Chains A and B, each alone.
Chain A
C-alpha cells in the first residue's frame, strides 16, 4: 500500500536554506572546537591505548580450546563445531584415546584440530554448539601472521591460547 509522506510546509526562511546552513556550520564548528580543546575523547590510539581492561566477558575474540582442571583436553572431537562453522574454518581429525592413557575412558579426542583464522568470522557458533564446553572465544583479537599457514591455528596453538577452564562439565571426572 502506498504510503504518502506529508511534506512539511516550509516558511520562506526555511526555503532560503541559508539560515540552516549557517546553523549546521555552527554545529560542526562546535564539534571541531571541542575536539581541538581536547574536550571530546572518543577515539583510542590503538597500539598505545588498549581497551583490554574494559573488554566485556562475553567478548568474542579468537576461538580456542581449553583443558579442564585435571589437564584433560575437553574436546572429544564430536565435530559439531566443524559442522556448524559457517565459513568452514574448522578441520578436525578424530582419534581414539589409547587404552593406557589416563583419560582412556573418554575414548575419543582430536588428533588434529585446526582453525583457519583467515576464514573465521568470530561468530561464536562453535562455542555455542560445543556439548563439552571445550571451545571458547577468548579475548585475543590481534591475530596476525605473514603467511597463510601461520594463520591456521593448530591444536597446540589453540590449547596455548585457551588455557585451563574449571567447572561446567563434570561428567568425566572420577566418581566419588
Chain B
C-alpha cells in the first residue's frame, strides 16, 4: 500500500507509460513501416528497378494547397497508404478455418515481438529517467523466453487455416525456430561470460567501460585480454546473427513462407489487417533482433567519446553541453545502429538464395550448435587464463 501511494510508484508508472508509448508508437511502428518501405526500395535498387516512388502525401486535399507533397525521394507516403489499404481491405475469414485460433494467431505473432522490446535499453538516461522500459536483471533470458512464444502464432496460424500450405509452413517454422533458438542461446553465452551479467543494461554498461565487445578498441586501447577474447566474440557474433536470421524467418531462412513451394506459407489464408499483423510481427521481431545484436555486440547506445545522459564519461570538454542533449544523442545512436543492421538484413535478403530445408536443419544442428558450444569453452578458457 505504501508503495502504491508513494511518489516512486507514480513516477515509475508514468515514465514507463511514456517510454512504452514513445517506443511503440513513435519509434517501432514507424520503423516497421519504413523498414518495409526500405525493403521495397532497396530490393528494387539492387535489382535495377525503381520501387515505390510515387505515393506522396495528398496535401492537395487540404484547402490552401495546390500540390500533393512528394518528398525528395518520392514514395515516402507509401507506408501510410499501405496501412490505410490494410485497414480498409475486406477481412475475409475462409469458412473452413478454426475461428478462435485463426483470430488468435496474428496477435500471438505480433505481441511477443513488441513485448521483448521492453527489456532493451535504448538509451542511457534522459532527464534522469533510464531509457529502458523494464530494466530487469535477466533481460536476455526474458527476451529469449518471450520471443519463443511467437512460434505459437505461426503454428496456430498454420494449423487453424486448415489447408495444406499453411500447415506445412507452420510445421517448418516450428522445427526451424526450436532448432535455432538453441544455438542462439548458446551463442549469447560468451557475452554473458565476458560481461558477467544477464541484465542488458549491465551488458551495455560493461561495454561503455571496456569498449564494445565487437570493437574493444572503442574505449581507447587494446589489452591482451581483449585481443584474445576477440576471436570467440567474433565467432559468437556470427553464429548469433545467423541464428537471428533463422529466428526471424528472413531469407535465406524464410522456409516457413517460401512462396515458390508454399504459396505464402502459414499466412496463405490471411487477408487485410490480420495479414498485416503477421507482417508487422515479422518486422518487429527483426527490429528486436537487431536491437539485441546492438546491445550484445555493438555497445548499445554508446558512442566513443560521447558522454551518457547523466553527463558521465566521454571527452571532458563535451560536458559543457547540457546532459539531456547527450541523452538524446545516445538514443539516436542506438536506433541508428539498429537501422544499419536492418539495412544489412535487407541487403542479405536480396543477395542470397533460400536454403533447402535439409540444409537448414543440417546447418543448425551439425555446425552452428557445435560451434557455439565449443565457443563457450573457448571463452571460458580465455577468461580463466587472462584473469
Contact = CB atoms under 8 A, between A and B. Distances in A.
A42 B352 CA distance: 23
Given A35-B45, A36-B45, A28 B350 contact: yes
Contacts of B48: 31, 34-35, 40, 42-43
B47 A25 contact: no
B75 to A, nearest CB: 12
A154 to B, nearest CB: 35
Interface in B155-205: none
A24 B351 contact: yes
A24 B46 CA distance: 11
A18 B363 CA distance: 13
A42 B49 contact: yes
Contacts of B348: 21, 25
Contacts of B50: 43, 45
A29 B45 CA distance: 9
B305 interface: no
B327 to A, nearest CB: 34
A104 interface: no
B49 A43 contact: yes
Contacts of A36: 45
A41 to B, nearest CB: 9
Interface in B316-368: 347-348, 350-352
Contacts of A43: 48-50
Interface string A20-54: 01001101110110111000101101000000000
B119 interface: no
Nearest to A36: B45
Interface string A116-146: 0000000000000000000000000000000
Given A40-B48, A42-B49, A43-B50, A32 B351 contact: no
Q: Which of B42, B351, B352 has the most CB of A within 10 A?
A: B351
B45 A31 contact: yes
A25 B45 contact: no
B49 A28 contact: no
Contacts of A35: 45-46, 48
Nearest to A33: B45
Contacts of A24: 351-352
Interface residues of A, number: 16
A32 B42 contact: yes
Contacts of B350: 28
Contacts of A18: 238
Nearest to B50: A43
B351 A31 contact: no
Contacts of B352: 21, 24
B45 A21 contact: no
Nearest to B350: A28
Given A40-B48, A42-B49, A43-B49, A25 B42 contact: no
A27 B47 contact: no
Contacts of A42: 48-49
Q: Which of B42, B46, B47, B352 has the most CB of A within 10 A?
A: B46
Contacts of B45: 31-32, 35-36
A36 B47 CA distance: 12
Interface string A73-98: 00000000000000000000000000
B120 to A, nearest CB: 27
B47 A29 contact: no
Contacts of B238: 18
Contacts of A31: 45-48
A45 B54 CA distance: 10
A38 B238 CA distance: 34
Interface in B26-60: 42, 45-50
A24 B351 CA distance: 6
A150 to B, nearest CB: 25
A120 B348 CA distance: 42
A31 B49 CA distance: 10
A45 B48 CA distance: 13
A21 B49 contact: no
A21 B351 contact: yes
A149 to B, nearest CB: 26
Given A21-B352, A28-B347, A42-B48, 15 more contacts: A21-B351, A24-B352, A25-B351, A28-B350, A31-B47, A32-B42, A32-B45, A32-B46, A34-B48, A36-B45, A42-B49, A43-B48, A43-B49, A43-B50, A45-B50
Interface of B: 42, 45-50, 238, 347-348, 350-352
16 contacts: A18-B238, A21-B351, A25-B347, A25-B348, A27-B351, A29-B347, A31-B45, A31-B46, A31-B47, A31-B48, A32-B42, A35-B45, A36-B45, A42-B49, A43-B48, A45-B50
Interface of A: 18, 21, 24-25, 27-29, 31-32, 34-36, 40, 42-43, 45
The 7 A-B residue pairs whose C-beta atoms are closest, nearest first, are A35-B45, A24-B351, A28-B351, A28-B46, A32-B45, A43-B50, A42-B48
